Structure 1
Amino acid sequence: MKTLNSVGRWLAGPIPVSVVLALVIGACFMLIAGVDPISGYIAMVNGSFGSGAGLASTLQRAVPIIGIGIAIAVAFRAGVLNLGTEGQAGLGALAGGLVAIYVPGPAALIVPLAFVTAIAAGALWGLITAVLQNLLGVPILLSTLLLNYPARYFSSWLIRYKLDEPTSDLVASEQVRPEVQLSMLVPRDSGFAEMLRNTLGATNPVTAVLTGVNWSIVILIVVVLGAIFVNRRTRFGFESGLAGQNAEFVRYSGVKPGPLVLRTMAISGGLAGLFGLMLIIGAPSTRLIEGYFVQTNFAWTALLVTLLALYRPVGIVIAGLFFAAIMVGSDAMGRELGLSPQIAAIIQALVIILLAFRVALPRFGKRRAGGAEPALTGTPDPDPDPGPAADPAAVPTLAPVPATAPNGDAR
């Protein structure tokens, strides 16, 4: 009974209600466009989860969203507003891609070297903002946002004028060697893939996922599990989570804030660079393409996912799959019903706007009445790590400081 009550309270909480309202408003837009909303949403579900190919596309689309979402959550959870994952991931993809494409050598050496290079490039770009805050007091919120632009335009210039392959119709580099690529979980031309197609069928979800999703999903699973472990079982996880909740408390604990900001931005930027690279060398992608990462809009979708999930890794996985399903399903809906796939962007924006409105309105009314601000209730905590759980719409502090656990243990 207690579990049922908790589930009921969660269903009446801000997140489910905001999602439902967003879908209802999205249905109104479909009606205006002359499309039956029920048929539209059925096509969306079938296109994202109802077929093997749709499920594989949803999982593949969710990998960079969830991965970059974890990178953002590492920073936001510590009260560091890292809005620069687009630039960090872009430079990571560029640096790691250069290694993967142009450095000769066996794949067993080149692939790890490309990963290390991508992580280092993303981390260094993130560390610039941490140094600017620690030494000059420049807010990370501003510096990370602004540094997206030089990263974007430098990558574009380098690919267009230095790396462009004349034989390609795209403004892009040479192709990644097949042995350096992250292949599908089961290569499509392998004997095992042929056996799966003969026994289960080519459209079976198992066959489609194994032959349509590359090994980046395994790396993502490792990163998510690592984030959960760090949040719950390490000193850094304890300090960063507490810093995001109460900067003044950790300030008086005697721990210096500067090193925490440096570590946080290095980890956040490094993770962004890692998942940026996997967009370049993960099959079926084969080239560095000018503007590719910016056009995908993965970084900003990941930001919405992170806010919706309250910076929790498990929540980010769920929200990332939800947003990826909307994106893939809207493409399918566009093919079947002739509706613009931009409906996905509308629904995503509505979810965040309605969530912020639903959270802020009771607080505004309570403040006007002169009472204390109510805490969010009815939302079970699937990941009880310290974080800004009191208010999912609250903005973390700009200059976090850590707190030391007396015994070094962490939640």
Structure 2
Amino acid sequence: MSRVIKWLFKESSLISLISIFLGLLFGAVIMLIGNYNPIQAYGALFNKSFGDLNSIGEVIRQITPLIFTGLSVAFAFRTGLFNIGAEGQFIMGALAASFVGIQLHLPWYLHIPLAIIAGGLLGGLWGSIAGYLKAVRGVHEVITTIMLNWIALYLSNFFVKTFLLEKGQMRSKFVDKSAWLSSQGLSEMFGNSRIHYGIVIALTLAVLFYILLWKTKQGFELRAVGFNPEASQYAGISVNKNIIKAMFISGIFAGVGGVCEVLGVFHYQSVNTAFPGYGMMGIAVALIGRNTPLGAILGAVLLGVLTFGASGMKFGAGVPEELVNIVIALIIFFVAASGIVKWLLKLFAKRNKEVSNRANPTISK
């Protein structure tokens, strides 16, 4: 608990909290301009997200993939890389899980771990392609990861249509029940929601994220390369190897997220015509969470509640769902434009000091 309190009072964390407050505040102003009641709107959003056990279960289900992709993007950022390809790595992880879940018939204690490992490895390998091109050819990872997103989308569609397609459907066959991450008991506990055990895996990976980056020699090397590649090279650290490793590990986080979405929620893979969107939301989660594992979890909770509760605003307060996207965009804006928030903090501290000096003139002397 003390670690959480210390985290909340770090300057970077305080910036995130103030950014969230400003985003909600400016969102309320926009609602007032549009003749909507912001108190009623936010109340409806909160009620939709936490009004009953089913809603809580669905919020957790919505949060789960965001934690995975948020961790993926945050890990890359921490090592000096911009992983815009969590979307593609997520899709490739889902594809691997679908293959293992459909083509293999094993007991659950072998089936589930094998699917998770396969999805994580394929997601990691997909990410390492961008890492290799960056390390060996000097191609910027933003370009390659965006291109790899589209390749992943169409490649997964090809494999599903060719090897896994359910006749007459635009989706794969169902994976074997022995590979499911959901259970009837857990679903009934949360009002027959689609909650699944992927949330446990997500939280476990967040802990591993922290241990790897801050408690191991390998993590020190990854952070050193991200902070200063030239100095790291001079110190004898292989910059190229660590770039590839960083993108591989980053891809694992997103890949396992795709696994959990297939095995926990849908139990099949669709022939997608568009991205699921979790990779792009992961960028927002990482930014809001200041690229820390705890921050990624809290950022995922925030965005999960906002996106799931948007329909509550629409039907409960008559507020268009698009306003939630505006609120999210405002929060990201204030996080990205942290200079504004820092200026506000300094201004507040300065006024506080002036008021304190007026109240105690002897102290100021």
Bucket of the pairwise TM-score, normalised by the shorter protein: 0.7 to 0.9
Shift of 1:84: 0.8
Other-structure match for 1:238 = 220
Match of 1:290 in 2: 271
- 2:213 alignment partner AA: N
Alignment partner, residue 355 of structure 1: 335
Is contact 2:105–2:176 with CA below 8 Å preserved after alignment?
no
Partner of residue 279 from structure 1, selected from 246, 255, 261: 261
1:334 aligns with 2:314: yes
Contact 1:90/1:293 (CA < 8 Å) preserved in 2?
Answer: no
> Partner of 1:325 in structure 2?
305
Residue 175 of structure 2 aligns with which residue?
176
Residue pair 1:184, 1:211 contacting (<8 A) in 2 also: no
User: In structure 2, which of residues 316, 323, 344 is the aligned counterpart of residue 343 of structure 1?
Assistant: 323
Offset of 1:65 from its aligned partner? 0.4
Q: How much identity, in percent, do the aligned residues show?
A: 27
- Quote how far apart the aligned CAs of 1:179 are: 2.7
2:362 equivalent in structure 1: none
Please tell me the root mean square deviation across aligned C-alpha atoms, in Å.
Answer: 3.0
What aligned pairs does 1:65-84 form with structure 2 within 5 A after superposition?
65-84=66-85
Partners of 2:64 and 2:7 in 1: how far apart? 30
- Offset of residue 164 of structure 1: 3.2
| CA gap 1:138/1:25 in 2 versus in 1, 3 angstroms | same
Who is 2:354 aligned against? none
> CA–CA distance in 2 between the matches of 1:273 and 1:236?
21
Which is worse superposed, 116-125 or 328-337?
A: 328-337
**1:5, 1:319 → 2: CA distance?**
17
Q: SS of the residue aligned with 2:271?
A: coil
Q: Counterpart of 1:21? A: 22
Gaps of 5+ in 2: 350-365
Is contact 1:33–1:339 with CA below 8 Å preserved after alignment? no
1:347 deviates by 1.3
Partner of residue 404, structure 1: none
Aligned to 2:110: 109
Distance 1:156 1:59 in 2: 28
TM-score, scaled to structure 2: 0.84
Q: Secondary structure at the match of 1:68?
A: helix
Q: Distance in 1 between matches of 2:271 and 2:108?
A: 25
User: Which letter maps to 1:113?
Assistant: L
Alignment of 1:163-242 (within 5 A): 163-168=164-169, 171-184=170-183, 186-188=185-187, 207-208=189-190, 212-242=194-224
Q: Which has the higher helix share?
A: 2
Structure 1 residue 267: Cα displacement:
0.9
Could you tell me how far apart the structure 1 residues matched to 2:9 and 2:255 are?
A: 40
**Cα deviation digits, residues 42-90 of structure 1 (max 9, x gap):** 0111112343222222211111101111112221101021111111110
Q: CA deviation at 1:220?
A: 1.3
Q: Extract unaligned runs of 5+ from structure 1.
A: 194-206, 364-374, 379-411
- The amino acid across from 1:288 in the alignment is Q
1:315 positional shift: 1.0
Match of 2:288 among 298, 304, 308: 308
**Structure 2 equivalent of residue 408 of structure 1:** none
Per-residue deviation, 1:15: 2.1
